[in-house]
Amino acid sequence: MLPEGRPALMGILNITPDSFSDGGLHLDPVLAVAAGRQMVADGADLVDVGGESTRPGAEPVTEAEELRRVVPVVQALCAEGIRVSIDTTKPVVAEACLAAGAVVLNDVTGFQNPELREVCARFGATACIMHMQGEPRTMQANPSYQDVVNEVAAYLGAQAQLVQAAGVRKVWVDLGIGFGKTTAHNLALLRHMGAFTALGYPVLIGLSRKAFLGRILGSEAEPLPTSEREEATLAANLFAAAHGARILRVHNVRGHARALRAWRALTD
Ligand code: HH2
């Protein structure tokens, strides 16, 4: 499923009013499907559909509302043969989307919920296990670790074992950039990609336009806004690719596809 010689590109398609970068853009299912189609035309290997924002401070969404947002879009994209990942923490939403043809279950809560492990196994889907400290509403209040790299790697390894014990055969792991982490924590994780590739599972990186990039470009107190973080996103994703990331989760698929083509010409 993953390409050789370059990382796969996962396009981000949030059907939410409040996502930090594309919130409100894809609430109309017709526009959402068109955006997903465009991502594939631009070079996406799969499209990650989400119906609940996980940005710091985000309010939870009900099951009924999340189903209403994502299921028609997942159905339409899958019917066109597009590979879809569903970004959800709710077993009912996961089940509806996997039944509609989604092939990856992306859980930002790391498959701590046994029901999600069971659903993922039953549909033969890939589990994308992400690390988060705390929960979105409060996770950026005071993130703290003794040793962020070893703690995140140990967590991902343990969750991968649990997921596999439930019968899931394909596993990806994700450092969870920005999920209960300071700028220093995010940088430490990216600088030590080897600790994560050593786990033996494909590593997914989701850093597109995140706040730590705004803080690097501006300051902790005055980060550059989301709309000004694209070049830094490209630079950080190419760094991650060079250090073994196998899947890059991005808003700007076209820009990354072009950057990866140039990168590959140099690394081939
Ligand atoms: N980041 C976000 C959401 N889902 N899933 C994985 N596996 N890894 C990530 O880093 C990740 C994720 C947050 O970004 P986005 O979807 O752009 O925004 P929002 O949560 O506000 O909808």
The answer to whether the CB of 145 falls within 8 A of the CB of 151 is: yes
Say what percent of the chain tops pLDDT 90: 89
Residues 6+ apart with CB under 8 A from 90: 63, 66
pLDDT at 171 over 90: yes
Query: Measured from the CB, is residue 50 less than 6 Å from ligand 1?
Result: yes
Length, in residues, of the chain:
268
Measured from the CA of 209, which atom of ligand 1 is nearest?
Answer: 17
Q: Residue 191: how many CA atoms within 13 Å on its side-chain side?
A: 8
Picking from 111, 178, 117, the residue whose alpha carbon sits closest to that of residue 148 is 178
Query: Considering 117, 170, 209, 210, which one is annotated as catalytic?
Result: 210
Q: What is the pLDDT of residue 139?
A: 83
Does the Cβ of 35 fall within 6 Å of ligand 1?
no
Token pair in block for residue 267? 């690394």
In this prediction, residue 94 carries a pLDDT of 98
The token pair at 217 is 């470009």
pLDDT of residue 137: 83
**Half-sphere exposure in the Cβ direction for 189 (13 Å, CA):** 32
14 CA closest ligand 1 atom index = 22
- 235-250: per-residue pLDDT in tens? 999 999 999 999 999 9
57: pLDDT strictly greater than 90: no
Backbone angles phi, psi at 83, to 5 degrees: -80, 125
Q: Known catalytic residue: 249?
A: yes
| 68-77, 136-145, 182-191, 229-238: segment of lowest average pLDDT | 136-145
CA angle, corner 113, sides to 84 and 166, nearest 5? Answer: 80
For 160, phi and psi rounded to 5 degrees? -60, -40
Per-residue confidence at 141, pLDDT binned at 50, 70, 90? confident
Indicate whether 179 pLDDT > 90.
yes
Q: How far apart are CA 97 and CA 108, in angstroms?
A: 16
Instruction: Assess whether pLDDT exceeds 80 at residue 268.
Output: no
Return the best residue to mutate from 54, 88, 111, 201 for the ligand 1 pocket (most ligand atoms within 8 A of CB): 54
Amino acid at 223: P
Determine the pLDDT at residue 262. Answer: 95
pLDDT in tens, 21-53: 888 999 999 999 999 999 999 999 999 999 999
Beta carbon of 204 within 6 Å of any ligand 1 atom:
yes
| Mean pLDDT of all residues belonging to the chain | 96
Residue 30 has phi, psi (to 5 degrees) of: -65, -40
Residue 196 predicted with pLDDT over 90 = yes
Report d(CA 31, CA 49) in Å as an integer.
13
d(CA 20, CA 173): 23
The protein residue whose alpha carbon is closest to atom 8 in ligand 1 is: 206
pLDDT 10s digits, 86-112: 999 999 999 999 999 999 999 999 999
Q: Give Cα 133 distance to the centre of its chain.
A: 16
Per-residue pLDDT reduced to its tens digit, 201-234: 999 999 999 999 999 999 999 999 999 999 999 9
* First and final C-alpha spacing in the chain: 20
Check pLDDT > 80 for residue 1: no
Q: Which residue has the tokens 């992306």?
A: 106
pTM over 0.95: yes
pLDDT at residue 72 greater than cutoff 90:
yes
Q: Ligand 1 pocket: which of 156, 196, 249 to mutate (most atoms <8 Å of CB)?
A: 249
A 10 A CB-CB count for 245 gives 25
